[in-house]
Structure 1
């Protein structure tokens, strides 16, 4: 406990030391208060950890649902609520309704915002009509709508303060990610890698909505905000126009690298961290080269957007192993590190000041597409995964079905965020345990039309019947500490607490709580629909609550969400998760849990 308190004090001191840099001081104070859940990621370090311990290993078995709320929307509920004071805010899938609920009156609706969007945006949303949540700052709630509109709402009334269009749905650009408020800006990414968009992260002024900067994933240095002499990759300057010179011709203009994941922030270094996704098209033959800077971890200056360093995890991606998964900031002794569980199946520990990898190990034993990541600095392949030719979709060629590739395109983990506990010093990974067959084919680009160029089928690894794991990970050694098998992928975000608990949801609809040290299951409750939302906890009126959105969907649940039946539909997920319909159905519900009176 002393170690935990010390780490908490260090984190608070870092924020206070840099407080003058923030115009949004209120959010800083709220993010330090465990009674509230003020950021989509829990805190700027993306820990998804709460100091609340009223609910603990001794009493969690007595947890009961105390109230619930129907969102009025079906399909995938992939976000999580915010709690500011005694008000809860959350968003739904398309049409992206935002609710403000009164926690003092079991979720009475204070206001509702329902944007009017063109339903034509739905067909260009690759993997369900999801929305990953809202953000808060300076008395405003920020929503990134499906049609890419970023809107600022008055947190008390729901009235629109300002709005700005972040992209163009007619070209395949959509909005699914949660914004992140950093200092005096609102940061937001873009979805649409399967439509040949060019990914970017954009910062808008929190007061006015005026664009402050935009950094693209590929393109000339002026677009990527890369300084060729000072931006580094693996400790060396990247050189001039690094975002162009590993592409064939103008392919970079439709190069993908979408940015629909989570954003973290180190206030001491003044750096924001996020990942970019797959290069377009999925057919690697059509885009020779490393395709920089898709599949990349980015560290950008929060004020200017200029990149300090970049690290491409899967150069010349051949499997759709997006690098968009969250970056979790932690310290190892005196070293600042970033921990990232990539779609490619490797868990990375990276020096977050320099971008140099320290650890890169498989967090699922089924991973077979690469033998390892080369961490020998003297090697010509330093920092790169060593690909197994049998599972190289490019080596096997167009119109050839490469079989038995692990993980599948949805990765050993997708966007569902992991949690970190400074009490146990372990990371808790909601994971997929899925393999695939992958057949690339030639595809032509047309703006606003799918630009995939591959047919996929998904299934469990050979000899296994389960498709999910929930894993405790030691990021210092790169070792699995314990692992729980789940029938389907664990597509819910995890929550760790000072009560020595970790919560997560399952695709069948169970909310579960396990012992953070041993993984022993201590509690489960089946909600009305599959859980792909992110569990949160808060305190109101002296009582701790746990809340989660259920509503099956997302990539894993796209068959149910969109009524698809052909096995290769949903980018290969429909066949792999066909049995899910035997366990759950569509829904949209918030369920709130607490201990009964007297506990």
Structure 2
């Protein structure tokens, strides 16, 4: 939180917990931007898609790469001099399991550590000053189609990380680990029984009302399809410190063939919950406060992992603690981030 308040730092990929990606620094303006010239450049040496930005903490810039997930610490004052380099040893057999290039969406800084989610499902904490491993933990199994491409986020004493691989029959989840030693605190699934999803049908709300029905993460699927139901969590996570809620989206349902997911071959009743949904979870316990499904029975691979931007705005003449999501299905959603009610 302290690092986020100083605009000279960029301590997380989204800039801050709200997900706005906005910097209040005003040295560069619309008037003088045309005069910018290259001062120095740095090549990572990896010629694949780079899908995350560098972090800046004080006078150090931290740069990451797609597979093999190198991490560099660079001196800003010394025009990119390498302070340290981390090069994990990964089994290259993970590459064919990565559905959409070998990308990685960025490292995170907290507690004097750099956190990296490696393609081979290893979540590793590095000493920010030396690059040495502090701890590492396995978050999944590439043999089951699971990989890691998401950018983890730190909230208080926990680091949250998702999972990729919806195209390979992976069952999506979000997991919280202790930032000190990597101990798993909780894991919440996107599909399956309420106890696995951490839903209480009498307390968890959908569209502002208690869900009521039990185990919709099972009953809205054909047979046991929920076990390979996708709903992976490879996008972005935002957080409201006042509400202590972490927000994120789930991806497309698995398998891609919608006929396999339809109950008795019918679309009716086959919402495939809770794929393509926005979750609001208690950051401490993982319990779901509210959930909103954007595209039930997704047949188009829209995914639902785009940023859930937190903004205090006026909606229909009233001030609202809002969550704004621009989805790949072509709709923009404005919800009350306290209750999950759909406003616009």
TM over 0.5: yes
Name the counterpart of 1:182.
155
Does the alignment pair 1:57 with 2:30?
Answer: yes
Name the counterpart of 1:281.
255
Aligned length in residues: 332
TM-superposed CA distance for 1:236, in Å, is: 2.0
Does the alignment pair 1:291 with 2:277?
Answer: no
RMSD (Å) for aligned C-alpha atoms: 0.7
**Structure 2: runs of 5+ lacking an equivalent:** 263-269
Alignment deviations for residues 38-92 of structure 1 (CA, whole Å, 9 cap, x no partner): 1111000001011101110111110111110010111101111110111011210
| Matches of 1:341 and 1:351, distance apart in 2 | 15
Does the alignment pair 1:344 with 2:325?
Answer: no
Does the alignment pair 1:249 with 2:223?
Answer: yes
Alignment deviations for residues 91-132 of structure 1 (CA, whole Å, 9 cap, x no partner): 100000000001110010000000000000000000000001
Name the counterpart of 1:261.
235
Name the counterpart of 1:165.
138
Name the counterpart of 1:117.
90
Name the counterpart of 1:93.
66
**Structure 1: runs of 5+ lacking an equivalent:** 1-27, 360-599
Does the alignment pair 1:84 with 2:84?
Answer: no
TM-superposed CA distance for 1:145, in Å, is: 0.1
The runs of at least 4 consecutive aligned structure 1 residues that moved more than 3 Å come to none
| Matches of 1:59 and 1:137, distance apart in 2 | 33
Identify which of structures 1 and 2 has the higher relative contact order when contacts are C-alpha pairs closer than 8 Å and 6+ apart: 1
Name the counterpart of 2:169.
196
Name the counterpart of 2:47.
74
Name the counterpart of 2:6.
33
Task: Give SS of 1:328's match.
Answer: strand
| Matches of 2:187 and 2:158, distance apart in 1 | 12
Does the alignment pair 1:315 with 2:296?
Answer: yes
Query: TM-score, normalised to structure 2's length?
Result: 0.95
Name the counterpart of 2:76.
103
Name the counterpart of 1:324.
305
TM-superposed CA distance for 1:256, in Å, is: 0.4
Query: TM-score, normalised to structure 1's length?
Result: 0.55
Q: Which of residues 315, 335, 339 is equivalent to 1:354?
A: 339
Name the counterpart of 1:229.
202
TM-superposed CA distance for 1:327, in Å, is: 0.5
Name the counterpart of 1:271.
245
Name the counterpart of 1:589.
none
Greater gyration radius? 1
| Matches of 1:308 and 1:199, distance apart in 2 | 18
